[in-house]
Amino acid sequence: MIRRSTWVVFAIFLIVAVLVILLTKTPNAPLSVSQTPEPTATPRMIQDWSLEEITRATLIRAIGGTTDLVKQTDGQWMNQGVGLVPAGRVEQLLSELLATRILAELPADYSLESLYLVNPGQTILLESRSGKKLEIRIGGLTPTGNGYYVKVQDNAPIVVSRYAIEAVFQGFDVALPDTPTPENTLSSP
């Protein structure tokens, strides 16, 4: 014979099961399975620019000089004053730059001095085939160290990923011409 307490637990289970079924079938129910949150796309740091239209990318460092990459008419990239650069290296750095997403947007009236954006340590300049220009000033690190303060043109200051910006810096650093190997430079007797 089944105990009375077992019947009570079974009845409570049935009541909870019926309530769950009713709540999931009701359209305005908080537990409705049909209500899936929509992901919101985080905006990119650079809007309305494509890889194909960029013809010049310049990194100006307060300490360390300037790296100026210019796209030639034949589609090859030239590091000004140094030589031809493999197009893949430049395209990789530009892709990284164009894909960088905004982590946070600061108020437009925020003090640029405190973000080190008045005299930035690095500035990236982009030019397009049509003559469009873009200035990206990279300021200091955030207090947590995971982002950089950035100002694109006259827009409000933003925070972007430290790792994305440092990947762009590294892309400029490796945008050097392929150097000939010693055996290629030896002349035949």
Q: What is the pLDDT of residues 25-79, one digit of tens each?
A: 766 655 545 566 676 777 999 988 999 999 999 999 998 889 999 999 888 999 9
Model confidence pLDDT, tens digit, residues 142-159: 999 999 999 999 999 999
pLDDT at residue number 83: 87
Pair 139, 121: CB distance under 8 Å: yes
Contacts of 130 (CB under 8 A, 6+ apart): 53
Minimum mean pLDDT among 45-54, 76-85, 178-187: which range?
178-187
Is 84 a residue whose pLDDT tops 60?
yes
Structure letter (DSSP) for residue 59: E
Rounded distance between C-alpha atoms, residue 79 and residue 97, angstroms: 18
Pair 46, 94: CB distance under 8 Å: no
Is 138 a residue whose pLDDT tops 70?
yes
The Cα angle at residue 6 between residues 3 and 12, in degrees rounded to 5: 145
Model confidence pLDDT, tens digit, residues 95-124: 999 999 999 999 999 999 999 999 999 999
Pair 151, 117: CB distance under 8 Å: yes
Q: Beta partners for 124?
A: 59, 136
pLDDT at residue number 181: 38
pLDDT at residue number 5: 84
HEC sequence for 80-142 = CCCEEECHHHHHHHHHHHHHCEEEEECCCCCCCCCCCCCCCCEEEEEEECCCCEEEEEEEEEC
pLDDT at residue number 35: 61
Contacts of 135 (CB under 8 A, 6+ apart): 123, 124, 125, 152, 153
pLDDT at residue number 80: 83
